[in-house]
Amino acid sequence: MKNWKRLVALGMSAMMIASLAGCSTTKSTEGGSEGGEAAAPAESGGGKESLEGTHVFMFKSTGNSFGDLMYEGFSEYLEAKGEKTAYKSPAETTVAAQVQMLDELITQNVASITISTNGDAGYDEVFKKAQEKGIPIVSVDSEANPEYRICHTNQAETQDIGSYLVQAAVLITLGVDYPGDGKMEETVKTELGKYSGEEIKLGVLSASIDTPVQNSWIAAMETELAKDFYAGKVSPELDKKYGNDDLTESTTQAQAFIAENAVDCIISPTTVGIAAAGQALKSANSEIKLTGLGLPSEMQSFMPTKADDDAFEYVCPYMMLWDVIHLGAVSGAATYAAVNDGFDGSVGSSFEMDAFRDYEAETYEAYQSGDGTAVLAGAPFIFEKNNMAEWIDVL
């Protein structure tokens, strides 16, 4: 059986195709029994079980399968180590809603907080409070302030994600099928070399305007677009819209792209945004194409799922993501090491993660990332007509 990690170990490039026949990873069903439940204010008591000593996982907001899948990995890893975990995310995708909930959790003396944030600013006071109480903070997916976190758990190299998304959008606009592992940039160069049409224009349907992770990917897309071979062929300007990781708002923004009809392809670097755009573009029978970061289970109606499908009869011919469940488990291992094994996240410090599902035990070493440190969990993975069917039941 192949798995994501082993493919990397075999030296394949960051962009991988895997046959997952027989993969034992299972699809999240309800996203965790506690998913979405508001944190019980400490003073409310009322028979609510105390969260003292519990490792809390906080996503950006409730109702997002991506967060549910990360929690699945986080809780499975920590529960196997005999730890208690809880999933606490606010209903609103805002900094204020997370801060209020964090404050309540800290008062309850939780063991640790693992968080995907909604913004760069606004957490200092509450994170300081956690630090003073000795509650470690690890971030995953969307970074927390380096000053207060032990480390960030990075899903994949930021620049790789930004570059691959732009390359995919350009190839899709030109009607070129996924060229295969490691061939994206070279194919873009060849195809653009032959291209003499109007300047290609790309749109971005993101989460909130403040979300650190999406903003870092957008910056990476702009870096990619500044490369010489795009000059005069693809506009360096991205048309950006924000759907706040809310289905309704993302649908409205996708409809705005359709009404304006100014872009050739929308890149949506959020699983909520890409699914909303998929539906909107399909319903409108729009000629605008779509790619981005999506969950196969949520994208199956907008993508080819069989090897002999014509990818371009679908709104989204191919897209990307990574092993979200494993990402959550790595953040759980970092948190466990911070609480129990003295892992402090300084550059060069490391922790051992136990074997998890198809992954063998592995050592993760913290490296400098911006003003803080991170550990790297994986690499981007392309979902396309040849592997979609295998993944729909997994992610």
Number of residues that bind ligand RAM (CB under 6 A): 13
- What is the spatial distance between Cα 122 and Cα 103, in angstroms, rounded to a whole number? 13
How many CA atoms, within 13 angstroms, populate the side-chain half-sphere of residue 14?
20
Applying CB under 6 A, does 330 fall inside the site for ligand RAM? no
CB of 294 to ligand RAM, least distance (A): 8
CB of 274 to ligand RAM, least distance (A): 8
Q: Which of 245, 246, 264, 358 binds ligand RAM (CB under 6 A)?
A: 245
Closest to ligand RAM by CB, 213 or 263: 213
Contact assessment for residue 369 and residue 158, using Cβ atoms and an 8 Å cutoff? no
Altogether, the residues listed in the chain come to a count of: 395
- What is the spatial distance between Cα 342 and Cα 349, in angstroms, rounded to a whole number? 10
- Token reading at 52: 């003292």
DSSP state of 67: H
State the binding string over 119-148 for ligand RAM (x if CB under 6 A, else -): ----------------------xx------
* Cα angle for residues 268, 32, 113 (degrees, 5° grid): 80
Single out the segment in contact with ligand RAM by CB under 6 A; choices: 60-68, 161-169, 195-203, 359-367.
60-68
- Token reading at 41: 């204010």
Applying CB under 6 A, does 251 fall inside the site for ligand RAM? no
H helices then E strands: how many in the chain? Answer: 12, 15
Closest to ligand RAM by CB, 89 or 142: 142
State the binding string over 181-210 for ligand RAM (x if CB under 6 A, else -): --------------------------x---
- What is the spatial distance between Cα 216 and Cα 159, in angstroms, rounded to a whole number? 9
Closest to ligand RAM by CB, 192 or 254: 254
- What is the spatial distance between Cα 276 and Cα 300, in angstroms, rounded to a whole number? 13
Applying CB under 6 A, does 335 fall inside the site for ligand RAM? no
Applying CB under 6 A, does 331 fall inside the site for ligand RAM? no
CB of 151 to ligand RAM, least distance (A): 17
Applying CB under 6 A, does 377 fall inside the site for ligand RAM? no
Single out the segment in contact with ligand RAM by CB under 6 A; choices: 16-24, 58-66, 329-337, 379-387.
58-66
Terminal CA-to-CA distance of the chain, rounded, Å?
18
Residue 363 phi, psi dihedral angles, 5° rounding: -95, 130
- Token reading at 31: 């996203």
Interaction with ligand RAM in 152-171: which residues (CB under 6 A)? none
CB of 49 to ligand RAM, least distance (A): 28
Applying CB under 6 A, does 374 fall inside the site for ligand RAM? no
State the binding string over 260-279 for ligand RAM (x if CB under 6 A, else -): ----------xxx-------
State the binding string over 291-320 for ligand RAM (x if CB under 6 A, else -): --x---------------------------
Burial label for 103, CB within 10 Å (0-12, 13-18, 19+), is middle
CB count within 10 Å of CB 21 equals 8
- What is the spatial distance between Cα 216 and Cα 157, in angstroms, rounded to a whole number? 11
CB of 186 to ligand RAM, least distance (A): 26
DSSP state of 372: E
Which residues are CB-contacts of 249 (< 8 A; sequence separation ≥ 6)? Answer: 242, 243
Q: Which positions touch ligand RAM (CB under 6 A)?
A: 60, 64, 66, 116, 141-142, 207, 213, 245, 270-272, 293
